[in-house]
Structure 1
């Protein structure tokens, strides 16, 4: 049977890595993209493959989802689309709920109503645990501390509900923070590595950050999409945590990133309270032992290695941009 995957959020970090992975495995890949006046497909522009198809649609538009599912008849659906910035969710709570919570319901209902036989992956998040102390596993209680985390809790439980009520092969991957050179520039790790590159090349001299003591479990996104795929290949639909199991403060990530470029972060990082969240999540550290035992998945890249990888990529990109500007007449 030909394998066809539908990926919402295909133009994002995870979506782009997942599209590459599935194409390598022989899939026909369909991606959902929102219509904008300007194109924002830089993460997938390099993919030149006739098996990749992009479709306009939106998780806030149930009719477009029903029509798309019926048209494609996917064998696997990966719901990665979301308003995924935690601080923005405080500023846009209703939009976050419509996209991240009800959007999942709309997609599940489109699958159920179409009657197709497919497997569904829901991108859950460690932010659902919120203030619950680490380590956090599949059995840890949820206590979200943001509209984003609360919306994702709804998505998580409605996925469980459709699995139990309609016998859908539906799973949630509870992924802890996972980063890469393709991470959005407003997320703290990428903000740090871009700042390092900019300071190293003399473009700026400082970087402004919020809470330096927040602890996160940072892994490499390219490895985590492999875990997503593995969840849908297993015989039984189950939910899994993906994480490194190692907590790192923002302060230490700064130390790794600046140190790799031969800089002292304390000379360049400034604190601004306006970057703090209204309600902070102090520590997220995942226990991925189930994913290791059942799927054979294990994170390979730690936060220090990740910081170096991202700094190198941002330095290279910024240097190429500067050369290009200097060569223009």
Structure 2
């Protein structure tokens, strides 16, 4: 091979929950079979002892955790095609495929279960970017208000830069081990909106519930009980 990587990070995915309902087959092909194809390519090329593989997994695997916070012992219960495709799941398939290749072929292959992480590169169809863009437009008098769904939905938000460092650190360990990558703190969409408007010295006058996201999960967080 002309290219012989030492580390592979599989971040390719259909990661938008709403879109995953509309593009279920595409989601399954990318999120599930895409992981299998990479791992099988590593094996076929005889690089299973020289390449370290990172699989980006997701907190969506925990799905319907509506009380308390997910723990490592919690069973997976995905509730969107991003997590759930018929009996199996796209991301859950990738999760167990990574483990199977690790155990069957002694590959250094790990899953990093990522909770929400943000950066300026976040797509505009995600609520965090939608809020920040709207606040900027309101400040510039290009927009009068912003309509959102439920403001009480909570997330464990971190910074993408810190999460990527955690991914890299997982591949520097002596032995492969799956990890949860999170901050351990939850914040509501309401808090996010309030902090964003504080940056332009504005207050939320009247929250307007224009719609509720049909596939919203109430809380996605992780109780920090281990080093991560």
- Work out whether 1:283 is the aligned partner of 2:214: no
Q: Which has the higher contact order (CA 8 A, sep 6+)?
A: 2
- Work out whether 1:139 is the aligned partner of 2:73: yes
Q: 1:134 to 1:165 in 2, by over 3 A?
A: farther
Query: SS where residue 182 of structure 1 aligns?
Result: coil
Q: Hey, what's the Cα distance between the residues in 2 that align with 1:232 and 1:196? A: 39
Of 167, 190, 193 in structure 2, the residue corresponding to residue 251 of structure 1 is: 190
Q: How does 1:6-21 map to 2 (within 5 A)?
A: none
Q: 1:134 to 1:73 in 2, by over 3 A?
A: farther
Tell me the residue number matched to 2:87: none
Tell me the residue number matched to 2:61: 128
- Output one character per residue of 1:75-132: Cα deviation in whole Å (capped at 9) or x when no partner: 1000001111111101111111111111111111111111112000000111110112
- Where does structure 1 differ by over 4 angstroms across 4 or more consecutive aligned residues? none
Q: How many residues align?
A: 220
Q: Hey, what's the Cα distance between the residues in 1 that align with 2:167 and 2:96? A: 18
Q: Hey, what's the Cα distance between the residues in 2 that align with 1:71 and 1:288? A: 42
Residues 215 and 282, structure 1, Cα contact 8 Å, conserved in 2: yes
Q: Hey, what's the Cα distance between the residues in 2 that align with 1:243 and 1:184? A: 20
**Structure 2: any 5+ residue segments left out of the alignment?**
85-89
Q: 1:288 to 1:102 in 2, by over 3 A?
A: farther
Q: Hey, what's the Cα distance between the residues in 1 that align with 2:147 and 2:2? A: 47
Tell me the residue number matched to 2:119: 180
Q: 1:109 to 1:134 in 2, by over 3 A?
A: farther
**RMSD of equivalent CA atoms:** 1.5
Q: Hey, what's the Cα distance between the residues in 2 that align with 1:147 and 1:75? A: 32
Of 30, 40, 44 in structure 2, the residue corresponding to residue 113 of structure 1 is: 44
Tell me the residue number matched to 2:159: 220
Q: Hey, what's the Cα distance between the residues in 2 that align with 1:288 and 1:124? A: 18
- Output one character per residue of 1:147-176: Cα deviation in whole Å (capped at 9) or x when no partner: 002321111111111111111100011111
What TM-score, normalized by structure 1, do the two folds share? 0.64
Moved more, 116-125 or 135-144: 135-144
Tell me the residue number matched to 1:99: 30
Q: Hey, what's the Cα distance between the residues in 1 that align with 2:227 and 2:6? A: 22
Q: How does 1:188-207 map to 2 (within 5 A)?
A: 188-207=127-146
- Work out whether 1:272 is the aligned partner of 2:205: no
Q: Hey, what's the Cα distance between the residues in 1 that align with 2:32 and 2:68? A: 25
What TM-score, normalized by structure 2, do the two folds share? 0.91
C-alpha deviation, 1:71, in angstroms: 4.1
Tell me the residue number matched to 2:100: 161
**Structure 1: any 5+ residue segments left out of the alignment?**
1-69, 293-329
- Work out whether 1:209 is the aligned partner of 2:148: yes
